[in-house]
């Protein structure tokens, strides 16, 4: 698949991206404080004796706008905007660091996996060759051409080749898991 989409699946990359988005949004919130805030207010009350509570002649209400603005003290607002912008730069730097780390981990995992695939192929060839030599040694022993020690030596070499191949199979599985983790993992086939 697309490498960018695979890396975006990583939880650390997603968290850093959300942090950067939140820091950018905080700039907008800080900049909004430069402008007046208008809100509507509604109040209701009942004035009078308890037995008249809720009657039309004892009810009062009011509705109106409320405007607030920190016009003469804009230095505080500008300082908050500057603080939000600095936070945004820090969040973007953190995001860059997380992405670079993710790329490094992915590249390392890919290289280890590719190296182990090459080693595995070489071990398969070595095991096949050792198997062929062991079969020939058995045939020669049965026909009386070589001593039994040669057959044992060929069988030992075959067993060593099979053991190395089995260890490579395990390492290949470990490297594949590390690659899946580096790419974010968790996807379904």
Averaged pLDDT for residues 161-169 = 97
pLDDT of residue 46: 73
pLDDT value at position 26? Answer: 94
Give residue 187's pLDDT band: very low, low, confident or very high (50, 70, 90).
low
Main-chain phi, psi angles of 42, to 5 degrees:
-135, 130
Q: pLDDT higher for 3 or 12? A: 12
Q: What CA–CA distance (Å, rounded) separates 31 from 81?
A: 6
| 106-146 residue pLDDT tens | 999 999 999 999 999 999 999 999 999 999 999 999 999 99
The pLDDT tens digits of the residues spanning 72-112 come to 677 888 898 999 999 999 999 999 999 999 999 999 999 99
pTM over cut 0.75? no
Summarize pLDDT for 35-74 with one digit per residue, the tens: 878 888 888 777 777 676 767 777 777 887 777 776 667 7
Strand partners, 44: 61
Q: What is the per-residue pLDDT for 70? A: 66
């Amino acid at each position: 698949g697309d490498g960018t989409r695979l890396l975006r699946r990583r939880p650390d990359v997603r968290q850093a991206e959300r942090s950067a988005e939140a820091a950018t949004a905080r700039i907008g919130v800080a900049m909004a404080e430069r402008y007046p805030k208008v809100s509507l207010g509604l109040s209701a009350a009942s004035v009078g004796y308890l037995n008249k509570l809720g009657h039309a002649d004892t009810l009062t209400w009011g509705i109106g706008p409320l405007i607030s603005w920190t016009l003469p003290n804009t230095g505080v607002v500008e300082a908050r905007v500057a603080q939000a912008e600095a936070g945004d730069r820090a969040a973007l730097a953190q995001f860059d660091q997380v992405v670079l780390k993710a790329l490094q981990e992915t590249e390392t995992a890919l290289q280890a996996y590719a190296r182990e695939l090459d080693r595995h192929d070489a071990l398969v060839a070595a095991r096949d060759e050792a198997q062929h030599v062991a079969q020939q040694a058995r045939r020669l022993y049965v026909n009386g051409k070589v001593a039994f020690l040669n057959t044992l030596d060929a069988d030992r070499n075959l067993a060593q080749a099979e053991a190395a191949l089995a260890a490579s199979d395990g390492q290949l599985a470990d490297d594949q898991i590390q690659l899946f983790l580096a790419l974010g993992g968790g996807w379904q086939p």
